[in-house]
Amino acid sequence: MKKNKIFVACDTTSIIKIKRIIKETQNSNIKFGYKFGLQFLNSKNGRKFVSSLKNKITFGDYKLADIPNTCVSTIKAVKDLKFNYITIHISSGLKAIKAAKKVSGSTKLIGVTILTSLDNKSLKEIGFEKDVKKLVYKQAKLAAKAKLDAIVCSPQEIKIVKKIFKKEIITPGIRLPGDNKGDQKRVMTPKQAFQNGATAIVIGRSILKGKIKNNIQKLIKELN
């Protein structure tokens, strides 16, 4: 299972918890990375902690959704953190994602498609006329056009994205068997996501709730 890459969503403000996650994910034949989102990055000691990490695969989940100028200046502003990956919403538009790609340098730029917490009903509420699959397909085309390095989509759209986008496909919306979906709508288990062709998965609450050590063991067992 060497090919599998797993990003643990470090959705907490507790550095102790994150250190535990890092400790429990060493010495496995699975490649682990650590995803830091808005909660941790905006917490008092979050940024400093990320800057102290050495030899880890890191993922800054900023989910930029802004005008080209702001996307570009934000990517420049976090260069010192040397993230391996950073996210931008493809819905920021082709100009914004192209401009962001121009300045992202060695950090891989990931285009985020329709959030995994949305379904066709929620899209209609926002005013989108197309369904999830059609929108994700369109967004994958834009990501390819802007030469982004990776796409975030739900595991349910991997096959559609693969038709058009040939680089990394990273899927959140992952639950260990038996776990609650919570606010996520389009979910699969880690095994199903990899079987569908994900190159990496993102998993948060299935790891963070309860005993981190046991959850990570359960995850590793599921994939071995």
Any idea which residues carry the catalytic annotation?
A: 63
Q: CB of 31 within 8 A of CB of 55?
A: no
Q: Closer to ligand C5P by CB, 78 or 102: give it.
A: 78
Closest CA to 53 of 81, 87, 79, 26: 81
Please state the closest distance from residue 204 (CB atom) to ligand C5P, in A: 3
CB atoms within 10 A of CB 42: 10
Site for ligand C5P in 111-140 (CB under 6 A): 112, 115-116
Asked whether position 33 contacts ligand C5P by CB under 6 A, the answer is no
Distance CA 26, CA 54 (A): 13
Position 86 contacts ligand C5P (CB under 6 A): no
In whole angstroms, give the CA distance from residue 163 to residue 151.
13
Is 9 one of the binding residues for ligand C5P (CB under 6 A)? yes
Q: Are 188 and 148 in contact (CB under 8 A)?
A: no
The contact mask relative to ligand C5P for 151-190 (x = CB under 6 A, - = no) is -x-------------------x-x---------x------
Q: Which residues bind ligand C5P (CB under 6 A)?
A: 9, 11, 37, 61, 112, 115-116, 152, 172, 174, 184, 202-206
